[in-house]
Amino acid sequence: MKAAPFDYVLAQDLDQALGLIDENGADAKLIAGGQSLVPMMAMRLARPQLLVDINRLAELKQIHFTPEHISIGAGVRQRDVEFNAQIHQSVPLLKHALSWVGHIQTRNRGTIGGSLAYADPSAELPLSALLLNAKIILKSKTHPEREVLAEDFFLGPMFTAIADDECLSAIEWPIWSGERLGVAFEETAIRKGDFAMASAACQIQLDASGLIQRVSFGLGGVDGTPRVFPHLATRMVGQKFSDLHMEDIAQEAISECDPGSDMHASSAYRKHLAKALLCRVTQAAIQSALAPSASTAH
């Protein structure tokens, strides 16, 4: 099928883009990498009357480092984040997550902001943003800049806190500074590059005696949004991983999720997968934290 007719403007700066979405409301859509929007338009699941192209906007391509976080512009390509050594050093979860996102070709075009704005419940970047509780910066023509934490950003499948007149401009990814940091991301899909039937991620930090100092873990593809479990993670703090019954913790996590059934997997199978993946990523994250070369974020 072909997309329904639409008008197109290549925005020259962010002010112009914000003005156009302010004037046209829900009839306009921003287009970034086009890796999700163009297929949706081709299937006529999206029928914007106006496409506002934000690909050339330098304002959305900035990367800034502070001791506490990395701010990555919404328009930065996924592949540029995947291969940025300084980002990998400071927020290693991103590279782990990105290696599962689609294909090299889609990551060459797809943007960090586009993936968060699209908010597919099984997408890897939304899960990573939630796991780290990243701060999402939204701009509009008429209101002051708005900051929304990831925990308040994902509202449902393909549904976020972005208003029709807002553009996601940057994401601040918290840095867990210090040593003995371990991360892991795993998923199961029908074919490599497909959206995950279920995915799991974990970031963990150990103290000098090997006790868990800080941990966050989550699941994708098992509910209307990605899910994290801070109440379960808190219970793990101060403990030795080998003393924990990770299967029981994973069971508790999946009992809080409500995955749908589709042609790829039943709800019960998704839960089964998610539980196994969660046990696997926590174990893998611990191993990477204990490895002599364990990440040290700066």
Ligand X SMILES: Cc1cc2nc3c(=O)[nH]c(=O)nc-3n(C[C@H](O)[C@H](O)[C@H](O)COP(=O)(O)OP(=O)(O)OC[C@H]3O[C@@H](n4cnc5c(N)ncnc54)[C@H](O)[C@@H]3O)c2cc1C
**Of 183, 243, 184, 180, nearest to 213 (Cα)?**
180
Q: CB of 238: closest distance to ligand X in angstroms?
A: 34
Binding flag, residue 195, ligand X (CB under 6 A): yes
Return d(Cα 57, Cα 60) in angstroms, integer. 6
CA dihedral 102, 263, 153, 279 (to 10 degrees): -80
Question: Residue 30 interacts with ligand X (CB under 6 A)?
Answer: yes
Distance of alpha carbon 19 from alpha carbon 242, whole angstroms: 56
Is residue 29 a contact point for ligand X (CB under 6 A)? yes
CA distance 47 to 43: 9
- Contact status: 55 vs ligand X (CB under 6 A): no
For ligand X, the closer CB: 110 or 213? 110
81 or 117: whose CB is closer to ligand X?
117
| Among the residue ranges 25-33, 206-214, 228-236, 249-257, the one whose residues contact ligand X (CB under 6 A) | 25-33
| Residue with smaller CB distance to ligand X, 165 or 213 | 165
DSSP 3-state of 96: helix
* Beta-carbon contacts of residue 181 (< 8 Å; ≥ 6 apart): 92, 203, 204, 205, 289, 294, 295, 296, 297
How many residues of this chain bind ligand X (CB under 6 A)? 31
3-class state of residue 180 by DSSP: strand
Q: Does 124 bind ligand X (CB under 6 A)?
A: yes
Query: Can residue 118 be called a binding residue for ligand X (CB under 6 A)?
Result: yes
Q: Which of 14, 31, 202, 286 binds ligand X (CB under 6 A)?
A: 31
Rounded CA-CA distance 46/43 in Å is 8
- The reply on whether position 131 binds ligand X by CB under 6 A is no
Task: Using CB under 6 A, list all residues that contact ligand X.
Answer: 29-37, 39, 54, 74, 101-102, 106, 110-111, 113-115, 117-118, 120, 123-125, 162, 167-168, 193, 195
